[in-house]
Amino acid sequence: MARKAIHSDQAPKAIGPYSQAVQVDAGKMTFLSGQIPLNPATMEMVQGDVVAQAEQVMENLKAVLAASGLDFSHVVRCTIYLTNLGDFAKVNEVYGRHFTGAPPARATVQVSALPKGAQVEIDAIAVS
């Protein structure tokens, strides 16, 4: 898969681990539903702060990617949903550790609530 990060000096540079845009050749697209911090073995929310929740969300995304024969290098777009935008830096740090090289394009939004009282949810689009 040809995957190219796009950058323009005429637009604001990224303020976190994401690219302004990611361009890919046509290929098989996989759309990952939003993951919340549920432990897949117990289907219970993980205990702890937003960092612990973000770690579980990324592990859940990793598992779905693997089931598709993919990994984080195939992700071209994510959306992060936070119930408190004040947690942006903490979640950004966890999220950023999972992407080596050029990170995917991304949006982060604050929402009033998430399923099961989660503090963070992330969805993704991957291309192979």
Query: Is the four-CA dihedral 116, 52, 89, 31 of positive or negative sign?
Result: negative
The CATH number covering residue 37 comes to 3.30.1330.40
Q: What is the pLDDT of residues 97-124, one digit of tens each?
A: 999 888 999 999 999 999 999 999 999 9
pLDDT at 26: 65
C-alpha 96 chain-centroid distance:
9
Q: How are strands ordered across the β-sheet holding 75-82?
A: 29-35, 120-127, 75-82, 105-110
Could you read off the pLDDT tens digit of each residue along the chain, which spans 128 residues? 577 777 778 777 777 887 776 767 767 888 888 999 989 899 899 999 999 999 999 999 999 888 888 899 999 999 999 999 999 999 999 999 999 888 999 999 999 999 999 999 999 999 88
Rounded to an integer, what distance in angstroms lies between the CA atom of residue 77 and that of residue 19? Answer: 9
Distances, alpha carbon 117 to alpha carbons 42, 112, 124, in Å: 16, 10, 21
pLDDT at position 115: 92
Which structural domain range is residue 66 located in? Answer: 3-127
What the block records as the tokens of 123 is 């969805």
- Residues forming beta bridges with residue 75, ordered by sequence position: 126
pLDDT at 9: 83
Question: Looking at residue 49, what is its pLDDT?
Answer: 97
Instruction: Give the total number of structural domains in the chain.
Output: 1
In sequence order, what are the beta bridge partners of 31?
125
Q: How much of the chain exceeds pLDDT 90, in percent? A: 60
